[in-house]
């Protein structure tokens, strides 16, 4: 039995009637699952350990997670900044929802970047954490975007929330190029970019694992964005509906106080 | 704890990294899907813009 208003499809493309999936997100999800399986095979089994002069051995496999997750958070915060600027120009819910969704996914990628970097640093540098320019600026980036998400929860008025978080979304992005170029601008314990030129420091399947990891991270970002954006949009619609109901109740109360017969206001499903 | 980690093989760290990645990203994806369904259920069908 299916909902008359929805075509939920069949097999792997079947959609939950209440879900945030579409045919496009389902197809991308299947491609993503296959890509993740291929990535894990290449990254963990097929590719050779690092045997160069500054050999990392098996630990080079951590880089296939660390670098793509860093690229993922750069992308996410760039989208947040662009969507924030677009919100300040257009003032539409969609741009605000896009900025917020991308910031949240960016924070997930930053957590993964910091975790994988810390695990790698423990074995290579002998410390879980070092107040090095790259690590410090990345930690600052994490704090800034957690602050962005906290700001969104702290302001109740949707218009004020969207405007103030859009301003913060643009300001916070200033730190992103600082994170990226910190290894070039200051003396850093962190290594410089592995694949920054036409002469990368790795090759063969290790280079493929790193590059394919970036592709998978981008696909994962897009897939997560499709679902998170739709969730944010549904939350905004629910919030607007709640505000409408609250306004209707207040008007009804005002009319009742003024001696008028209170109209019946149905609040079922408002919570 | 420190002694155990000091003696851990590189594969332990690799496994911890990949486990954290799968757990974190998979957990977040599951949360987004579940919350999407929960929020959509509270909306009337005409407002479920992404379900059509």
pLDDT at residue A104, as a whole number: 98
pLDDT at residue A271, as a whole number: 32
Out of B24, B33, B39, closest to residue A234 by CB: B39
Q: How far apart are CA A221 and CA A74, in angstroms?
A: 11
Q: Which of residues 19-48 of B touch A (CB under 8 A)?
A: 20-21, 24-25, 28-29, 32-33, 35-45, 47-48
Higher-pLDDT residue of A174, A124: A174
When pLDDT is cut at 50, 70 and 90, the band that residue A44 belongs to is very high
Neighbouring residues of A61: CB distance < 8 A, sequence distance ≥ 6 = A43, A44, A47, A49, A209, B14, B17, B18
Neighbouring residues of B2: CB distance < 8 A, sequence distance ≥ 6 = none
When pLDDT is cut at 50, 70 and 90, the band that residue A124 belongs to is confident
Residues paired with A50 in a beta bridge: A57
Q: Quick one: which H or E segment has residue B24?
A: helix B10-41
Residue A197 has pLDDT above 90, yes or no: no
Any idea where the domains of chain A sit in the sequence?
A: 28-45+55-190+203-246
Residue A216 has pLDDT above 90, yes or no: yes
When pLDDT is cut at 50, 70 and 90, the band that residue A203 belongs to is confident
The DSSP line for chain A is ---TT----SGGG---TTSS--HHHHHHHHHHHHHHHHHHHIIIIISPPB-STT--BTTHHHHHHHHHHHHHHHHHHHHHHHHHHHHHHH--HHHHHHHHHHHHHHHHHHHHHHHHHHHHHHHHTS-S----HHHHHHHHHHHHHHHHHHHHHH--SHHHHHHHHHHHHHHHHTHHHHHHHHHHHS--SS---SSSSSS-S--HHHHHHHHHHHHHHHHHHHHHHHHHHHHHHHHHHHHHHHHHHHHHHHHHHHHHHTTPPPPP---TT--
Q: What's the mean pLDDT in A190-196?
A: 67
pLDDT at residue A9, as a whole number: 60
Residue B24 has pLDDT above 50, yes or no: yes
pLDDT at residue A201, as a whole number: 66
For an interface test with A, which of B9, B10, B22, B46 has the most A Cβ atoms less than 10 Å from its Cβ?
A: B10
Residue A1 has pLDDT above 60, yes or no: no
Asked if A18 and B29 come within 8 Å (Cβ–Cβ), the reply is: no
pLDDT digit string, tens, across residues A78-113:
999 999 999 999 999 999 999 999 999 999 999 999
When pLDDT is cut at 50, 70 and 90, the band that residue A267 belongs to is very low
- Single pTM value for the model: 0.85
Using CA atoms in the order A100, A101, A105, A111, what is the torsion angle rounded to 10 degrees?
30
pLDDT at residue A19, as a whole number: 84
A66: which chain B residues are within 8 Å (Cβ-Cβ)?
17
pLDDT digit string, tens, across residues A20-37:
888 899 999 999 999 999
Neighbouring residues of A32: CB distance < 8 A, sequence distance ≥ 6 = A216, A219, A220, A223
- Closest C-alpha among A257, A97, A166, A25 to residue B51: A25
In chain A, the percentage of residues whose pLDDT exceeds 70 is: 85
pLDDT at residue A270, as a whole number: 36
8-state DSSP, B16: H
pLDDT at residue A17, as a whole number: 77
> From the CB of residue A264, how many other CB atoms can be counted at a distance below 10 Å?
6
């Amino acid at each position: 039995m299916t909902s008359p208003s929805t075509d939920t499809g069949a097999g792997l493309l079947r959609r939950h009637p209440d879900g945030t999936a579409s045919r496009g997100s389902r197809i991308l999800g299947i491609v993503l699952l296959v890509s993740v399986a291929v990535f894990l095979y290449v990254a963990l089994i097929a590719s050779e350990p690092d045997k160069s002069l500054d050999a990392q051995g098996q630990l080079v496999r951590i880089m296939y997670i660390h670098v793509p997750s860093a690229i993922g958070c750069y992308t996410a915060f760039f989208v947040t900044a662009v969507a924030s600027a677009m919100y300040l120009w257009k003032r539409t819910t969609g741009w605000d929802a896009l900025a917020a969704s991308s910031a949240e996914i960016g924070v997930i990628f930053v957590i993964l970047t910091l975790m994988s970097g810390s695990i790698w640093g423990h074995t290579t540098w002998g410390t879980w954490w070092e107040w090095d320019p790259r690590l410090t600026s990345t930690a600052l980036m994490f704090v800034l975007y957690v602050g962005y998400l906290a700001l969104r929860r702290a302001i109740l008025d949707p218009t004020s929330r969207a405007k103030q978080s859009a301003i913060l979304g643009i300001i916070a992005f200033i730190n992103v190029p600082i994170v990226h170029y910190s290894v070039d601008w200051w003396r850093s314990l962190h290594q410089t970019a592995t694949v920054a030129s036409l002469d990368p420091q790795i090759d063969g399947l290790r280079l493929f694992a790193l590059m394919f990891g970036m592709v998978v991270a981008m696909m994962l970002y897009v897939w997560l964005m499709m679902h998170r954006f739709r969730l944010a949009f549904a939350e905004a619609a629910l919030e607007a509906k709640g505000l409408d109901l609250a306004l209707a109740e207040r008007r009804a109360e005002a009319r009742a106080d003024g001696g008028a017969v209170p109209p019946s206001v149905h609040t079922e499903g408002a919570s | 704890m420190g002694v155990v980690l000091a003696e851990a093989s590189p594969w332990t760290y690799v496994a911890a990294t990949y486990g954290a990645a799968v757990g974190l990203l998979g957990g977040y994806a599951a949360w987004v899907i579940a919350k999407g369904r929960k929020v959509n259920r509270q909306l009337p069908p005409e407002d479920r813009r992404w379900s059509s």
